[in-house]
Amino acid sequence: MSAPSKKAFPLRLDPALFVAVERCAAADFRSANAEIEVLLREALAKRGVKVGVSETPKRGRPPKEI
């Protein structure tokens, strides 16, 4: 089994803040987790911090070797 593609960690948020994130996520058809990631990237970009995008592992069966 391969390692997870994303770092998991507990995050404690004010309940009202989480409700606002969920509203924004629903409006953008995203999960709350994906919305938090987008918001963090936007905030870091605004501060001039460059964040690369990690390569996501390919899904499905590997191609057959000939």
| Structure-block tokens of residue 16 | 């009202």
The per-residue pLDDT for 57 is 66
Domain count for the chain: 1
Q: Is residue 30 included in any domain, yes or no?
A: yes
Q: Residue 40 belongs to what domain range?
A: 15-46
The per-residue pLDDT for 49 is 95
Distance CA 18, CA 11 (A): 11
Q: Is residue 66 included in any domain, yes or no?
A: no
Q: Is residue 33 included in any domain, yes or no?
A: yes
Q: Is residue 23 included in any domain, yes or no?
A: yes
What does the pLDDT look like over 17-37, one tens digit per residue? Answer: 999 999 999 999 999 999 999
Q: Is residue 2 included in any domain, yes or no?
A: no
pLDDT of 52 > 70? The answer is yes
Q: Is residue 56 included in any domain, yes or no?
A: no
Q: Is residue 28 included in any domain, yes or no?
A: yes
